[in-house]
Every structure is written in C-alpha cells, then in structure tokens.
Amino acid sequence: KALAIRTDVRSEEDVRRLISMTIDKCGRLDILINNAGVAYRKRLEETTLEEYDKIMDTNLKGVFLCTKYAIPYIRESKNGKIINISSVGGLHGLPDFSVYCASKFGVNGVTESIAAELEGEIKVYAVCPGAVDTDMYRSIYSDRPPLKPEHIAEKVLELCLPDSKVTSGKIIEMQAPPVPQL
C-alpha cells in the first residue's frame, strides 16, 4: 500500500503530521522515499539568502526531518528502506548550481552516515539522477536529452524490493544515454 500526502518538508510540524497520518492510515511504515527538491540556476554571488535557505531547507533539512521521524516506524519493518533522491550535483560540482550541489552533497553524506548508523536495521540508499525530464529541468535547459522519470522510478522500485541485493549506503549515479551522432 502506498500513500502520498502533500507536505512542506521544511516544516517539522508538517513532517510529524505526515508520519502520524501514514501510521494512522496504513498501520506501519516500511519505506521512506525522500524526493522533494528545488534548484535555482544562479551563480553563488547572485544567490540571495532567501534562495539559499529555500534550497537547503527543502533539499537537506527535509531529508533530515522526514528520516528522523520515520526511523522509529521503519525500524519495526523486516525490510525497512530509506531512499533519498539526490542528484549528480551531489557527486560533481556544477557551475551556476553551487548551493544546489552543496545541498545534494549533504544528502549523499547523510545517506552514507545513516546507513552506517542503521546497519543491520534499515537499508539506506541515494539515487543520483542526472538531468530528468521535469518542469524544473525544462525551465533550466532545453538543449540536453534528459532521463525520463520512469527510469528513476524503475531504479527506486528495484531498491524497494525485499530481495534487493544493493548494499546499504550505496550512492547510485544515473545518467541519460548519450544521443547518437550521425
């Protein structure tokens, strides 16, 4: 059974409500997928403090809050998983995305750290897609072929399976296939 509840992941109150509603409606919590994210294509010196806070609060604080409040319930599951949707921007710095990259490097660091903390209890992963065909991507780029959201969903589904052999703490990079040159 899956459940989606609109939540501001920057708000501790909203996140507590999210977890509580999930337990009330489903009776348990086996898998958490942290997938909220925002980005601005801006040079660091042009980024406002408000933009910095929005990126960090959504991309990193949101992972912290959702994971913190979900762990006690996921721990009760036999095959508990936490999957953080990060970005290749968390593996390689990108020009004009310094704050976004910093937030995603943070997500990857948290992923590795909590995987070690929860070893033997909960498996934790980060999926780091390159460009994905979303409204956010199309607002920034128009000349590069993106991954389809379905490709990311397939990888996440693979990680959710009880018999997944992927090692906990793994940071999984995904890129779109190159465009054939004629």
Q: Which residues does the annotation mark as catalytic?
A: 100
Q: What are phi and psi of 158, to 5 degrees?
A: -60, -45
Instruction: In whole angstroms, give the CA distance from residue 136 to residue 38.
Output: 8
8 Å CB contact between 150 and 133: no
8 Å CB contact between 171 and 122: no
8 Å CB contact between 69 and 19: yes
The amino acid sitting at 63 is V
The residues near 61 (Cβ < 8 Å, ≥ 6 apart) are 9, 10
8 Å CB contact between 150 and 105: no
Instruction: In whole angstroms, give the CA distance from residue 119 to residue 101.
Output: 27
The residues near 176 (Cβ < 8 Å, ≥ 6 apart) are 130, 131, 144, 145, 146, 147
